[in-house]
Structure 1
Amino acid sequence: MSTLRGSTAVAGIGITPHHKRGTGGPALKLALEAIVAAAEDAGISPADIDGFVSYGSERSEGQKMMPALGTKELRFAALAWSHGGGIPGALNIAASAIATGQAETVVVYRSLSEYDGARLQVDVAQNDTAAQFLVNGLDSPIQMCAINTTRLIEGEGVPAETLKAMAQAGYHHAQQNPAAVGHGVQLTAEKYENSRWISEPYRLFDSSRENDGAAAVILMSAERARDLTEKPAFLLSAPLGTPAGWGPLEGNQNPLWSSGFSSVAKRLWAESGYGPQDVDVAQIYENTTGMGVAAIIDHGFCTLDEAGEFITFDNLIAPDGRLPINTAGGNLAEGFIHGMGLVVEAVRQIRGTSTNQVRGCSLSLMTGGPGDAVVSSALLGTEETL
């Protein structure tokens, strides 16, 4: 077993309100708000944070925040490759720094704002969209994800109903979460089916929302976390990587429908000592519903042939579904902070404080952005799972 298994824990969580795009103010301000909230939740001073880790196109670097946080010493800083696929991998980087003595208190965070950050333009500027897509007019993530999901439905026979089930589950959970942007939106089957096409097979409610906001979690050694007020969420595994032949290869990934998690999922289960049958709740990054469906399959919760029976509305909702997902509403209905809000909700489930709490939750999964050039997943557990 890896020495990282259970050696660190999430001790504090913080998240800002989900602001309408362009109204949240500077991304740096939002990052500070989330980090200070996470420090207060952990019962520590923000000045004690000595490591900063993020992913994707984060531009609120740790050194920029030091004066406002009163940082005593910056000992470690890193950025995980890729877009939303790097979230759980950022937890791995933070845990590695703590386990090797490079830092003691590391914050993993993400902030984004169209007020000043131009998040969408920054993602395009990372220049990892294959030229063959661009010359054929495919320049948005939902268009490229639509190709994978069309293959999933038309080529592999996974029912399109699974997409609707995933969307409805997120909006169902948002009704119990007053902070969710989808709170008050009842997504009936009729409402979903009558919504406009964005890029077939995706309709309006199949796509994640864009908004301004920030979220943060604070990691420290398991020993230190046990002494704090809040219940620790121990990090059992958080592998980052990609299988052979993956990456931005102009849609030549094999299999094309996949979310890219096959090798990462194997490492996740091997390192943690658990399997998909043991997971109590999952926060599935759904930039689009179809890619979330593929992530569920790639993690071994069901096969392609079983997907239609497993990925149903009743199975995906708390508290009694076989795999409750996105229990705060997810990227679709809670709000989109490049998926970082999913980490916060994964911790809430371990603490027992979710607005859609799964009874007796001891293992909480969070998957990163599916279909990304680099992906990652994390499994959090209670003390009893170590």
Structure 2
Amino acid sequence: MSKPSLRGATAVVGAGGTKYFRRGAGSAEKKMLLEAVVAACRDGGIDPHDVDGFASYGDGHDEGPVLATSLGIKDFKFSVISSGGGGGIAGAIAAASAAVYAGIANNVIVYRTLAQAESGRQEFVKYHFTSMYRAQGIVSAVQSGALKNRRMLDGEGVPASAVEAFVRASYFHGSRNPDGLAFEKPLSSADYNSSRMIADPNRVFDCSRESDGAFAILITSAERARGLTPTPAYILAATQSGYAEDAGNSEPYVTSGFIPGARRLWAESGYGPEDVKVAQVYENTAGPAVLAMIDHGFTDFEGAGEFFTYENLIAPDGKLPINTAGGNVAAGFVHGMGLPVEAVRQIKGQSPNQVQDADLSLFIAGPQAQLTGSVLFGSERTL
């Protein structure tokens, strides 16, 4: 029996979100989330009362039944919240797509919201750090990410300029995004290199911004999508990889955990890294994001310096523009949910830094988390 394929069977029709707010400056989590859900429905041409499923990740507090009640949903059919860090985003998208494909639900919202006055600071990363990490004083993603980042630079020969280019490209895009925290604040090379060190080699500009906000996408069947919007973002593949390790004991060591999942992503979608027009890459810190792109085959260690240049990574004419709304480091961090929203907006032609003919848009979730994942979105021309 042949394996059933989800390729192109479902699509994102709507994407919505709030602005990014500095930590503690946003509204209540549920209020922001409802705003994001309604915005996604409006963008997708679906009445919010017709949403019948929800999927989220990261052990969030705003569960589907609560949302269904708040929205006055007529027929509530599906709800799931997975664990995992930012890598759980791809799993939530895959679960929503599978529910639609199987006929369990018709219109499923994938979402995340954060208001740190309610959730606490970094509440979603507490479970990542085992006693082996904590005994060494490693209790944050910027610290754990520094370990493999340093090995990538010193052991594998990836130049520090590659990480700098990734960050500066994100800030270039973020400076042109009025909803982001770095709006009108591009980053020069001098300012980057003179910034303070947080956890060597991670400088302050390498680190994601903790912020408040909410983002959501609306997934429905491909058939239904064609009648709702002229530019659905079809889900060509959504894969996850379990990254079973304790205190960094993985083989190979210098990986962000995507290698098996990336192979399946390309095999299931029928495309390869050379076909991708634009990418949104989750980054708690920039080094693991660079490594995630290497894991996906965009370049290798030896070619990283040539591939990761500022000019290559910026819209509209770079070889592969990345994080075109600013990403976690420049726009803001709502547990990474703004990244798939931007990936969809590139397909729909709604980005603040639009890439021409963005037919294939990649989202990479959660480098160096225990659960990683990727989603490839495509226009109708890619089916």
Aligned to 2:341: 344
Deviation at 1:81, TM superposition (A): 3.1
Distance 1:363 1:153 in 2: 30
Q: Which amino acid aligns with 2:66?
A: K
Paired position in structure 2 for 1:358: 355
SS at the partner of 1:13? strand
Conserved in 2, the CA contact under 8 Å of 1:41 and 1:230? no
State the shift of 1:256 in Å.
2.0
Is the 8 Å Cα contact of residues 91 and 239 (structure 2) preserved in structure 1?
A: yes
1:162 and 2:162 matched: yes
Of residues 108, 111, 120 in structure 2, which corresponds to 1:109?
111
What is the distance in 2 between the residues matched to 1:6 and 1:201? 41
- For the pair 1:226 / 2:223, whether they are aligned, the reply is no
State whether residues 210 and 335 of structure 1, in contact with CA within 8 Å, keep that contact through their aligned partners in structure 2: yes
Structure 1 residue 215 corresponds to structure 2 residue 215 = yes
Q: Deviations over 1:253-281 (max 9, x none)?
A: 12222100000100000000000000000
| Structure 1 position 119, deviation (Å) | 4.8
Q: Secondary structure at the match of 1:4?
A: coil
One-letter amino acid of the structure 2 residue matched with residue 83 of structure 1:
G
**Which region of structure 1 is more displaced relative to structure 2, 114-123 or 363-372?**
114-123
**Amino acid paired to 1:50:** D
Unmatched runs of 5 consecutive residues or more in structure 1: none
Unaligned 5+ segments in structure 2 are none
Q: What's the counterpart of residue 371 of structure 1?
A: 368
Q: Which amino acid in structure 2 is aligned with residue 178 of structure 1?
A: P
Contact in 2 for aligned 1:25/1:116 (Cα 8 Å): no
SS in 2 for 1:139: coil
Matching residue of 2:30: 28
1:353-380, CA deviations, whole angstroms, 9 ceiling, x for partnerless residues? 2111111110000000100001110000
Q: Is the 8 A contact 1:143 1:199 kept in 2?
A: yes
Match among 301, 306, 310 for residue 304 of structure 1: 301
Task: Return 280-289 or 111-120, whichever deviates more.
Answer: 111-120
Matches within 5 A, 1:1-386: 2-124=4-126, 127-242=127-242, 246-386=243-383
Q: In 1, distance between residues paired with 2:155 and 2:251?
A: 13
Q: Secondary structure at the match of 2:368?
A: coil
- Mapped contact 1:57–1:123 kept (Cα < 8 A): no
Q: What's the secondary structure of 1:217's corresponding residue?
A: strand
Partner Cα distance (1:218, 1:202) in 2? 35
List per-residue Cα deviations over 1:274-325 (Å, max 9, x = no partner): 0000000000111111001000100000011111111111111111111110
Spell out, residue by residue over 1:22-80, the C-alpha distance to the aligned partner (whole angstroms, 9 max, x if none).
12122111111111111111111111111100011211101112222011122111123
- Counterpart residue identity of residue 296, structure 1: M
Q: Distance in 2 between matches of 1:229 and 1:361?
A: 17
Bigger CA drift: 308-317 or 23-32?
23-32
Give me the whole-angstrom Cα distance separating, in 1, the residues matched to 2:57 and 2:123: 16
> Secondary structure at 1:287's aligned position in 2?
coil
Q: Give the distance between the partners of 2:94 and 2:33, measured in 1 at CA.
A: 20
2:234 is paired with a residue of what secondary structure? strand
**Separation in structure 2 between the aligned mates of residue 349 and residue 305 of structure 1, nearest angstrom:** 30
Provide the rounded CA distance (Å) in 1 between the counterparts of 2:272 and 2:324: 20
Code of the aligned partner of 2:186: Q
AA matched with 2:205: F
* Aligned mates of 2:262, 2:129 — CA distance in 1: 25
- Whole-angstrom distance in 2 between the partners of 1:329 and 1:202: 18
- Distance in 2 between the 1:119 and 1:376 partners? 24
| Distance in 2, Cα, partners of 1:80 & 1:239 | 15
Runs of 4 or more above 2 Å deviation = none
Identity %: 48
One-letter amino acid of the structure 2 residue matched with residue 192 of structure 1:
Y
Instruction: Please tell me the residue identity of whatever aligns with 2:272.
Output: G
Distance in 2 between the 1:248 and 1:185 partners? Answer: 38
Amino acid of the residue matched to residue 347 of structure 1? Answer: V
Note if contact 2:30-2:62 (Cα within 8 Å) is conserved in structure 1: yes
Contact 2:64 2:80 in 1 (8 A): no
Distance 1:90 1:133 in 2: 28
Offset of residue 86 of structure 1: 1.2
Aligned amino acid, residue 286 of structure 1: E
Give yes or no for contact 2:54–2:64 (8 Å, CA) kept in 1.
Answer: yes
1:196-241 alpha-carbon deviations (Å, 9 max, x no partner): 0010001010001000000000000001010013510000001112
The answer to whether the 8 A contact 1:11-1:230 is kept is no
Residues 63 and 81 in structure 2, CA contact (< 8 A), matched pair in contact too: no
Structure 2: distance between partners of 1:3 and 1:81 = 25
* Matched residues, number: 381
Looking at structure 1, the residues matched to 124 and 11 of structure 2 have their Cα atoms a distance apart, in angstroms, of 31
